[in-house]
Structure 1
């Protein structure tokens, strides 16, 4: 089994910084490499990055300076995914294993279309409350990455990906990376997608932190839960058993996070950035049209987010 030594990350958002930390601390000198174009590198190298108030050195390289990755972690914003993959393309060779840190349910498909489905392990991050503002990232819960092989892949692809998963898990153990090997990764992805679709969009539309959106009887809570239930209906149509049980389990996970923190879309509003709304309600609306499922709450959230963004 070929040993993994080199990790590249495309994307320096909260998840890219959070999951880059164990690799930086335990993976050896110069690891991980953060891949970016020359303009971004020149800009970011002038900044001082801190994680929970501690200054950190991040190894930034252009694709031309980088060596091919054993693992490529993709932590991009959804609107920039395809362009970012082209930036990272010189770092991908026949042996590279690609893992998406993104929160949706279709980034793996997009990555597989570009680089091949036999290179892409499926994953979803959970239980963290990381927030990045400029060059500062803070968190109280580090969370972990659930990772696995999709059962929908053909037999040969599952065999190839299982061997790659074994290698990744051995490396993650070595560098003390927070992860869990997940047997039903599609189920786990849709559970997290359900809660993100409700919580992320609600915090942005109402400009409220986690705690305010979890108050029983509030408008924010009603909107959040209703959006999550629409995701459940779509998942069930796709044969993935996500329902009321999972809705309550994952809402309880939110209650364990810092009530004053805001997820990524709430941060986007406060920093006047374009959000990942089309990864959430945009995708649910598309699936709803394809499967004959009405999605009025996500329709509303999608419209309101885009109205807010138009006012920046």
Structure 2
């Protein structure tokens, strides 16, 4: 039976730091390492990172220092995924398990095409309100990781066929059991989802709405869930994803829109999601992964998605002024 003893985290954003802090607290500094390329290592090695005001004791390693890890957590922005693949390549061995806590519906396929879908579990990070400001991490809710097995198929509506394994289904069962045992050991909130692709789309639906709306209107969770134009945009963007999900065979229930509005209302009212954080820092956002993908899928099916087109165009205008 697989056991997870050493974890690598790729990415030192809010989620990467939050999960790193959790593992260090549970198992100690040597249980987890942040893997950085040479430039990022030089930038971050002497930083004093904090979590909710307390100093973090983190292990930071260069990607050129070859070490195979049992679990690799990918926690980067979509725009950094290509470079992350190069950063993590020396961490991956035959038995390594990989999970991505990135937004969107495509990171698992991209990582799996590089290292083998048989190493992947589908993972959704939700219900947290973590924010990073320079070297300071703050959160009031750690949320939950939803995990499940990928569907191994050549069908474009599911996961691509696995590489590097003659028995991908058996491998997925073993990987899921290992991660389940590990999360129980470190007491990290999680749940196993049977229909993981449904939940992946549901979380993407939420991000298409909340991330883009808060970024375009430069606002927070409270305003985005207060009746008016801004909330209408938030809801409208999600409903367009629900319509697309039926055309793509995922079939999100209409009730998911209200479910996720309720979740957002439980977060810190003055908090705001990662894309709004990017706008404040004048960083290029993940708009292509959100509205860009919605627009592409809508064109494929011949439907209109006016709310996401509005958000896409507005975000591009904002970024053109950086």
Question: Equivalent residue of 1:90, what SS?
Answer: helix
Question: CA separation of 1:291/1:194 partners in 2, compared to 1, >3 Å: closer, same or farther?
Answer: same
Alignment of 1:168 with 2:179, yes or no, is yes
Residue 251 of structure 2 is matched in structure 1 by: 241
**Cross-structure match for 2:8:** 8
Aligned twin of 2:157: none
In 2, the alpha carbon distance for the partners of 1:66 and 1:174 equals 27
User: Could you list the per-position Cα deviations for residues 143-183 of structure 1 after superposition, in whole angstroms to 9, with x for gaps in the alignment?
Assistant: 01100013454694222111111011111111112211111
* 1:197–1:31 distance in 2 versus 1, CA, 3 Å: same
Given candidates 151, 158, 169, the residue that maps to 1:158 is 169
Mapping 1:1-312, distance limit 5 Å: 1-151=1-151, 153=153, 156-216=167-227, 218-312=228-322
Alignment RMSD (CA, Å)? 1.4
Secondary structure in structure 2 of the residue aligned to 1:65 = coil
* 2:36–2:62 Cα contact (<8 Å) kept: yes
Question: For residues 295 and 31 of structure 1, what CA distance do their matches in structure 2 show?
Answer: 45
- The whole-number CA distance in structure 1 between the counterparts of 2:109 and 2:303 is 22
Gaps of 5+ in 1: none
Q: Distance in 2 between matches of 1:230 and 1:311?
A: 28
Length-normalised TM-score, structure 1? 0.96
Aligned counterparts of 1:243 and 1:290: Cα–Cα separation in 2: 21
Alignment check: 8 A CA contact 1:233 1:293 kept? no
Distance (Å, rounded) in 2 between the aligned partners of 1:254 and 1:167:
31
Q: How far off its partner does 1:302 sit?
A: 0.9
Q: Which sections of structure 2, spanning at least 5 residues, go unmatched? A: 154-160
CA contact (8 A) 2:14 2:137 kept: yes
Deviation of 1:31 after TM superposition, in Å, equals 2.5
User: 1:66 deviation in Å?
Assistant: 4.5
SS at match of 1:33: strand
**Distance in 1, Cα, partners of 2:101 & 2:38:** 23
Tell me the secondary structure at the aligned position of residue 30 of structure 2: coil
Are the counterparts in 1 of residues 10 and 74 from structure 2 also a CA contact under 8 Å?
yes
- Shift in Å, 1:267: 0.6
Contact 1:229-1:243 within 8 A present in 2 as well:
no
Larger deviation, residues 23-32 vs 91-100? 23-32
Conserved? CA contact 1:150–1:184, under 8 Å: no
CA distance in 2, matches of 1:91, 1:293: 43
Conserved? CA contact 2:21–2:56, under 8 Å: no
Secondary structure (helix, strand or coil) at the match of 2:99 reads strand
Once the two structures are overlaid, the 10-residue window that deviates more, 219-228 or 16-25, is 16-25
Q: Could you tell me how far apart the structure 2 residues matched to 1:48 and 1:66 are?
A: 25
State the distance in 2 between where 1:234 and 1:19 align: 32
Separation of aligned partners in 2, 1:45 and 1:21 = 16
